Amino acid sequence: MESLAGKLLIASPKLRDPNFFRTVVLIVQHDENGALGLILNRPTEVTVKQAWEEVGEGDDCYVEALLHQGGPCEGPLMVLHDREELAQITVIAGIHFSTEKDALEDLVTDVDQPAKFFVGYSGWSTAQLEGEIEQGAWVIAPADPANVYDDDAELWERLHRQQTFSQQHPWVDPKLIPPDPSVN
């Protein structure tokens, strides 16, 4: 299978696993060894600043945004951001991934650039994600920085509707369809 790095996985309505129910996952890395992704639409109730005070070394943090639960697997603090010079992995243009301490220290002081912080990640072993896709658990869509950095509470609903409608009616632009067709 072709690498899904840089793609979005939109949970199918039939995916009932509570870890992934109605989620949108950005695939950061995908190869023959498995996949790593981050859930974009699962904010916690803790701000980045609050979390940084607990794990930081007293350095300043100015990010008041909510920390996101990236998935059920434990891991270090992770960030998706747009600063190429701080990238460990370039996911796609405008979306970079970092877990390194020096990059994190720089990113927690920069509130002018797009960034989303995560605790935990989503991981799949070899061929596991491919099997879930074959079973219809996920709809695949291209990633876009606007979808990654935006904290749209309706992200899953919007993307799921766009993708399923586009697949069924490729000649109609889903952006032109009102959320409630009865007002048409």
Q: Which of 5, 28, 175 lies closest to 116 in space, CA to CA?
A: 28
What is the reported pLDDT for 29?
A: 97
Composition of the chain by helix, strand, coil, percent to 5: 25, 30, 45
Read off the pLDDT of residues 1-38 as tens digits, 9 standing for 90 and up. 799 999 999 999 989 899 999 999 999 999 999 999 99
Tokens, residue 49:
């600043």
What is the reported pLDDT for 55?
A: 79
Q: Which of 99, 93, 96 lies closest to 85 in space, CA to CA?
A: 96
Q: Are strands 115-119 and 138-142 parallel, antiparallel or unpaired?
A: unpaired
Read off the pLDDT of residues 38-84 as tens digits, 9 standing for 90 and up. 999 999 999 999 999 887 666 689 999 999 999 999 999 999 999 99
Read off the pLDDT of residues 128-172 as tens digits, 9 standing for 90 and up. 999 999 999 999 999 999 999 988 899 999 999 888 765 544 444
What is the reported pLDDT for 54?
A: 86
What is the reported pLDDT for 152?
A: 87
Q: Check residue 151 and report its DSSP letter.
A: -
Q: Check residue 86 and report its DSSP letter.
A: G
Tokens, residue 43:
């904010």
What burial letters (b/e) apply to 140-164, b meaning 16+ CB within 10 Å?
A: ebebeeebbbeeeeebbebbbebbe
Percentage of the chain beyond pLDDT 90 is: 77
Q: Quick check: 182 pLDDT over 60?
A: no
Q: How far is CA 6 from CA 50, 54, 117, 151, in A?
A: 29, 31, 17, 18
Domains of the chain (ranges, CATH numbers)? 7-152 (3.40.1740.10)
* SS3 of residue 9 by DSSP: strand
